[in-house]
Structure formats: C-alpha cells, structure tokens
Amino acid sequence: MNELIKITKNKNNEQVVSARELHKILGVKTRFAEWWIQNSRLLIEHEDFEGVVTTAPYNPKFPDKVQQLQDYAVTADNAKHLAMQSQTKKSREIRDYFIACEKELKLQQLPMTLDQQIAAIATGYGSVKQELVEVQDKVTDLTERFGLPATNAAILNNTRNIHIIRFLGGKDSKAYHELGRKVFSEFGRDFKDNFGVPRYDAIPLSQYDEAIAYTKSWQPSYNTMISIRDTNMQMEFD
C-alpha cells in the first residue's frame, strides 16, 4: 500500500498525523488556521490531538530562514472525520486510506498461529542462527588446533593408568614397581606414533573417542608381556 500521508505514533502508541499535512493533501482552499478552527471544535485536546510546533522556510528559495508554525498531531481516527468534513475530492480517498491502515494494524496485532510463529522465528533469527553456526565452527577449529579440554585429557589419562596397571598386575605387583615406568613409556610411544601427536592431550577433540578406544585395547609388546609375567612369578617364589 502506497503511503498517502505520513502516519506516526504518539507517546500512547496511537497512530497520529500532522493536521497541516492533512490540510495540504486534502487540497482545502481556506487557510490552515481557519480550516482547523472550523473543523476541530468537537475535538478534545490531549485526547484527540496534541498541539505541536514545526518549522518551515519562509521562502523555498532561502531554506536557511525558517519560521515556527503551529501544528497538531491528530489521531488517525479523528483525522478520518476531519477529511470527510472537509468535503474535497481527496476526502474519501484519505478516509479509505486511514481505514486500510487501521485494518493492517489490527492484523499485525492478531496472535500468530504456531506455523506463523515458526516462520517468524526462522525469518527473524536466521542471521542469529548463522552467527551461532559460525561461532561453533570457530570453537571447533580452536579445539582441533589446541587439543583436548582439561576434563577430557584427565579422563584419557585415567583410562590409560587403569589399563596399564591392570596389565602389570595391580599396584602391589612386583612388575608394577620394577617395570611400570617401562610399560608406561611403551604405551606413550605407541600412542604418539598412532595419533601423530607429541603428548596425550594434544590430540584433536574429534579423535577423543578413538583415543579412548585405542587406550582400552592397547597391549604391551610380546617381550614386555613375558617380562611382566616372569617378574610377577618371581614375587610368588620369593
């Protein structure tokens, strides 16, 4: 719908128009002050209209020289009546325009259906969603570059300790005390070679589950397993 006259909102959130602009668009032949006095007798100030002061050039050729003009912010509903009272060729057109604006405003104020709410969210927050995706991508990139978060690294380290100590026969075993450092070092070399990292917590988060699975399934070399068995058997004989 093309704008016929500028409609704004007052402090009460009511639609209002400039009385001077309305007078001009109506094409009223009488002067504005006379037209206003004649047609606003039944209007109540501070309810149907508010007095405002505007400025305009004395002469369009000299826009820097301005004058103050008395104007009135009239509610759209009363502006509709003023238009019809003026009885010009534009009166009905302006009246119909105000009615159309009222209908459009009422439609905007109707509660939306669920589908409309979803559509509004999808449209209004599309850019926000895209920004969230971009942030998530950046976080993922940083995580990939800087390794595991502290919590994940601690879980991986604990999984390694439990698994290797079990192979050694527990913390009370002779193999744990004599071969523990060797077995832990062997695991470390195998782990770093497999994942191509300098230390456990340097693996990307995307490989965390794989690292846990690898740790749980890791086994010492054959010779190391023989050494563990023989060392623990010596403890039994001792």
Q: Report domain extents, the chain.
A: 8-110, 147-237
Higher pLDDT, 24 or 55: 24
Could you read off the pLDDT of 3-50 as tens digits, one per residue?
A: 889 999 998 888 999 999 999 999 999 999 999 999 999 899 999 999
d(CA 173, CA 192): 27
pTM above 0.85, yes or no: no
Give me the phi and psi of 9, to 5 degrees please. Answer: -125, 140
Tokens of 95: 């009246």
Q: Where are the alpha helices (DSSP H) in 27-113?
A: 32-39, 76-86, 91-109
SS3 at position 146? helix
Q: What is the DSSP letter of 149?
A: -
d(CA 37, CA 53): 17
26 contacts 94 by C-beta, under 8 angstroms: yes
